Amino acid sequence: MIYNPRAGKVMRSGGALIQRATDILTEAGHHVTAAPTTGPNTAGGIAREYIGRGADLVVVAGGDGTINEAAEGLIGTSVPLAILPGGTANVLAMEMKLGGNAEKVARRLGELKPRRISVGEIVCDGGQSSRHFLLMAGIGLDAHVVHNVDQKLKARTGKFAYWVAGWSLLGKRLAEFDVEIGGETRRCSFALISKVRNYGGDFEIAREVTLLDEEFEVVLFEGGSLRYVKYFAGMALNRLRGMSGVTVLRAAGVKMTPANGHTAHVQIDGELGGVLGAEVRIVRDALTLLAPEGYGR
């Protein structure tokens, strides 16, 4: 069990959440080794190490960023990944309707079924970096929000810190970039390239995609920051599709380039992933994920 000691719920419990989850899994017959991450980008190496030692299941307790990092160590293997929600948003847990209580999810582990899924891969910074993602890549507005989040405020208040960072951009000029899909190019200020419906744990933007699909749902938003007041209302009312300035597409590959000399940030599963230019593609048959039996139906 890989866990992030700095993840919101884990840290607030003083480590008790990890002990309780370990006890639950041990009582269910598992031999559990709890392995803390030691900093950013260490979870994948921990996963590879324990798979090399013969681990037949990797459980990750933390937020979506920790899950993303651990998944890097499992991609291309047959070892299943299970999650225990312990972070701020827990988008993957909400997507699969597991809820946000790590102990309840631990008790349900035996009910979950292995599902082979595709993942996304993004190459950015002009080809200098490559990362996989289970959930989504966000380019432009939401990545700038992630870039501007006050980490101390996030540690104290969770999601509220993202709202503060988002509203601070209201009225400011947003970086624009070009998105090429299927030979056509569109200019926008926010692109969501998603494998999941859930966004931020509270909303749905890409509404017709699941982890089991082998294409992304791509949602493109045009215009400056003031237009996002209208877009937010459309998202809350489930009226984004068909709204002026919003384009929804399906694709297995997307290419993005900066426009007008602007720097556009990229977020991957809620963590900063680099800047444009970037290309995103589907990696099929990449990972085994434990999911509820009815997920995706």
pLDDT tens column, 42-96: 999 999 999 999 999 999 999 999 999 999 999 999 999 999 999 877 999 999 9
Domains of the chain: 2-111 (3.40.50.10330), 120-284 (2.60.200.40)
pLDDT of residue 135: 97
- CA-to-CA distance for 132 and 77, rounded, in angstroms? 14
Q: What is the pLDDT of residue 236?
A: 80
Name 184's Cβ contacts closer than 8 Å, sequence gap at least 6: none
pLDDT digits over 228-256, tens only? 888 888 888 888 888 999 999 999 999 99
Residue 164 confidence (pLDDT): 60
46 phi and psi, to 5 degrees? -65, -45
* pTM for this entry: 0.91
For residue 136, the SS3 value is strand
Question: What type of residue is 196?
Answer: V
Phi first, then psi: give them for residue 159, nearest 5 degrees.
-60, -25
Q: Exposure of 114 by Cβ count < 10 A (0-12 exposed, 13-18 middle, 19+ buried)?
A: middle
**Residue 282 CA to its chain's centroid (Å):** 15
| Closest to 179 measured CA to CA, from 79, 80, 254 | 254
* Cβ atoms of residues 294 and 96 within 8 Å: no
Q: Is 211 left (phi over 0), alpha (psi -120 to 50) or beta?
A: alpha
Q: What is the C-alpha to C-alpha distance for residues 116 and 183, in angstroms, rounded to an integer?
A: 30
Encode pLDDT of 161-184 as tens digits.
Answer: 665 666 666 667 788 999 999 999
Q: What pLDDT, on a 0 to 100 scale, did the predictor assign at position 155?
A: 67
**pLDDT value, residue 258:** 93
Confirm if 264 and 138 have CB atoms less than 8 A apart.
Answer: no
Ranges 89-93, 214-218, 221-225, most confident: 214-218
Average pLDDT of the residues in 118-127 = 87
| β-sheet bridge partners, residue 248 | 219
- Range ranked top by mean pLDDT from 122-131, 211-220, 270-279: 211-220
Query: Average pLDDT in the 136-149 region?
Result: 86
In the three-class reduction of DSSP (H, G, I as helix; E, B as strand; rest coil), residue 139 is classed as: strand
pLDDT the model gives residue 42: 97
Check pLDDT > 80 for residue 282: yes
Q: Are 95 and 67 in contact (CB under 8 A)?
A: no
Average pLDDT, the chain: 90
Residue 225 confidence (pLDDT): 81
Residue 64: DSSP 8-state: H
Supply φ then ψ for residue 280, to 5 degrees: -125, 140
Q: Beta strands of the chain (E only): which ranges?
A: 2-3, 35-36, 58-62, 81-85, 113-124, 129-133, 136-140, 177-181, 184-188, 190-194, 198-199, 203-204, 216-221, 246-251, 253-258, 265-268, 271-275, 278-291
Distance, first Cα to last Cα, the chain: 29
Among residues of the chain, what percentage have pLDDT more than 70?
94
Six token digits for residue 107: 């008790």
